[in-house]
Chains A and B, each alone.
Chain A
Amino acid sequence: MAEVERKKRLADYGLHSERVLMRRKEPGVFERELGDLEDKLMLTTVQKAVAWAQGHSIWPDTFGLACCAMEMIAIVSARYDVARFGAEVFRSSPRQADLLIVSGRVAHKMAKPIRQIYDQMLEPKWVIAMGACASSGGMFANYAILQGVDKIVPVDVHVPGCPPRPEALLEGIVRLQEKIIAGVPPAYEIRDVAS
């Protein structure tokens, strides 16, 4: 691929996301809404700076439930390296973590511990529902599995897959970063269920 001579940085051309693989593709609904949001919310420079810092340093909690946890550990590994996105360490204590990645199926017995952990996290906090089971119960439509973790905690990003590839989870984390930087409030401020 030939090196195009650029006079300005890519961001100054209007490209904010790293998904520039598809050269002719315009920004999707998500990016356009985020772009509009920035104008509408009229954040102050300080707010934008704080959001930038928060978004680029999200530290997840070591919360692995089932198969998705294996792919979540994989994003820590050298090939998919989540540290370059700011998630430098996975904190063991929920009080030190910003992000709860619910990775795996949530049994009814586990619902109470999850809510406890979510409550122990300090605000601002975000939740990613990783995989089909955390988003909606997945293939387990039965008595034992909570049909979606957004019944007990407010979820910011759902990542589909069974299990989602590490790249898919990274996409979810990147979208969450873009949301935060654009100024979208965390889910507990906009959802009225389980907040």
Chain B
Amino acid sequence: MAVVERAKIYEGTRIPSPIPTVLRVDPALREEGDILQVNFGPNHPSTHGVLRLVVDLNGEQVVGLEAVVGYLHTGFEKNMEQKTWWKGITYPARIDYLSFQYNELVFVLAIEKLLEVQPPEKATWMRMLLCELNRIHSHLIWLGTGALEIGAISMLWYCFRERDAVLDLFELVTGTRMHTRYFQAGGLAEDIPPGFFTECRRFVDYFPRRIDEYEAILDRQQIWLERTRGLGLLSAEDAIALGQTGPVLRASGVDWDLRKVQPYLAYDQVDFNVPVYENGDVYDRYKVKMDEMRESTRIVQQCLDGMPEGPWIVDDRKIVLPPRHELHTSMESLIHHFKLVTEGYRVPPGEVYVAVESARGELGCYVVSDGGPKPWRVKFRAPSFAALEATATCMRDALVADLIAIVGSLDTVMGEVDR
């Protein structure tokens, strides 16, 4: 059997022009060749949601590509302008529905930045713990569904078994599996219930062995290597020019992780590595995510060991509801409760942009406040939005079968793209 020459990372730029996000068919090819335009419609069996790719094929090879989005446009930003700051926290979780707590986190961090309030240590560490569990959750779903599309069907069941374990932990602490809405401006919504730390420790103890299992199944499997090595190449310069962040950027050789370069929460107090790989192909993005799951487990372990005692929310009654028992005795608490529930707390005027490293990359939130109880403008910078801009560049010299693998490796969540 002839050994297929694997493509290596390229020099120069492969960004198509004039439109950077659309691969246009070469006119010469259009005349001589037999170009077939196929619609990978909004409903396709791969579970990346409602993405439409209009693909021009010359035989098996992809010679033209355009991504059409907007099939899940929800109008989050306009809806959030009508809700108070507190009630608005319910919305962001549905934007990136795989790593839902990151969206809440970034919105809450933006509110806290405008309010200039610092949540207590316990809240910060707990947020970090839950967000890293959420990163594990997101990567598990990516691995399960991504491997399913390429053909490694059994990964779906293994990954979803672990995913259910993570969701059990979320249910234990927040009351619901997905869209937990546990973060408030000022800390957490409630104290951490007893039993959570034990269960979390148990999960963290067995989870690295599971990652070993997944790697044993996929890492050196010949079909997996054939279908992921050398595909979807994206060089470091192209990745930066196209606004990529997260695992896609790190798989292209750029050592950039917001948790290290601009530590938020308590990331400067925990010890973890950032996996960086050089080849910029689908296989490296898979390796980056596997390593990130391991590093997240390490962070969760350190959070469990170093979890401080103390209050779970800041004590400022102007932004946080007073404890219920005080409402019976203190008039001021009653008034604060009333004002906070009916009108909502007010955030000083200003504009901020806060970015966190979500499972997909830099998730940013730009908030403009007019001083009132409702936001004036909220915009979420979604990493998948930028990732889809890179499809045209990654898809050079790709075959139809590779198309699915490459789009899967960019790890896009359409809720985030369309907002």
Contacts and interface: CB of A to CB of B under 8 A. Distances in A.
Q: Do chains A and B touch in the complex (CB under 8 A)?
A: yes
Interface of A: 62-67, 69-71, 73-74, 76-79, 90, 92, 94, 104-105, 107, 109-110, 113, 117, 139-145, 162-163, 165
A142 B72 contact: no
B50 A110 contact: yes
Interface in B16-56: 41-45, 47, 49-50
Interface stretch (B91-99, B222-230, B255-263): B91-99
A71 B179 CA distance: 12
Contacts of A143: 75, 78
A175 B41 CA distance: 31
Contacts of A141: 79
B74 A110 contact: no
Residue of B41, B73, B90 ringed by the most chain A CB atoms within 10 A: B73
A46 B44 CA distance: 36
Contact of A107 (B70, B90, B91, B141): B70
Closest 3 pairs between A and B when the two form their complex, measured CB to CB: A77-B160, A92-B45, A67-B97
Contact of B178 (A64, A70, A76): A70
Given A62-B47, A65-B50, A144-B75, 5 more contacts: A66-B97, A67-B178, A74-B160, A76-B156, A78-B157
Chain A contact residues: helix, strand, loop or mixed: loop
Interface in B47-77: 47, 49-50, 70-75
Contacts of B47: 62, 64, 69, 73
Contacts of B44: 92
B72 A79 contact: no
Contacts of B91: 139
B264 to A, nearest CB: 25
A142 B90 CA distance: 16
Given A62-B45, A77-B161, A78-B160, A144 B179 contact: no
Residue of A94, A107, A145 ringed by the most chain B CB atoms within 10 A: A107
B51 to A, nearest CB: 11
Chain B contact residues: helix, strand, loop or mixed: loop
B74 A79 contact: no
Given A64-B49, A165-B177, A140 B79 contact: yes
B295 interface: no
Given A70-B97, A142-B78, A143-B78, A109 B73 contact: yes
A130 to B, nearest CB: 13
12 contacts: A67-B100, A69-B47, A69-B49, A70-B98, A74-B164, A77-B161, A79-B160, A109-B73, A110-B42, A113-B43, A142-B79, A144-B73
A155 to B, nearest CB: 18
Contacts of A94: 43
A64 B100 CA distance: 17
B140 to A, nearest CB: 11
B179 A67 contact: yes
B145 interface: yes
Given A107-B72, A109-B70, A78 B49 contact: no
Given A78-B157, A78-B161, A113 B94 contact: no
B71 A140 contact: no
Interface size class of B (residues with CB under 8 A): 35 or more
Nearest to A93: B45
A66 B415 contact: yes
Given A66-B49, A69-B49, A70-B98, A104 B72 contact: yes
B292 interface: no
Nearest to B91: A139
A140 B75 contact: yes
A181 B73 CA distance: 38
B161 A79 contact: yes
B164 A65 contact: no
Given A65-B49, A67-B415, A110-B42, A73 B160 contact: yes
B104 interface: no
B362 interface: no
B277 to A, nearest CB: 28
Contacts of A77: 156-157, 160-161, 163-164
B418 interface: yes
A129 to B, nearest CB: 16
A69 B178 CA distance: 12
Contacts of B414: 66
A63 to B, nearest CB: 6
A141 B79 CA distance: 8
A79 B164 contact: yes
A184 B187 CA distance: 51
A78 to B, nearest CB: 5
Contacts of B161: 77-79
Contacts of B98: 70
Contacts of B79: 139-142
Interface in B214-250: none
Contacts of A140: 74-75, 79
Contacts of A66: 49, 72, 94, 97, 414-415
A17 to B, nearest CB: 25
A91 to B, nearest CB: 9
Contact of A71 (B71, B72, B156, B178): B178
Contacts of B160: 73-74, 76-79
A109 B164 contact: no
A144 B78 CA distance: 10
B164 to A, nearest CB: 5
A113 B179 contact: no
A117 B43 CA distance: 8
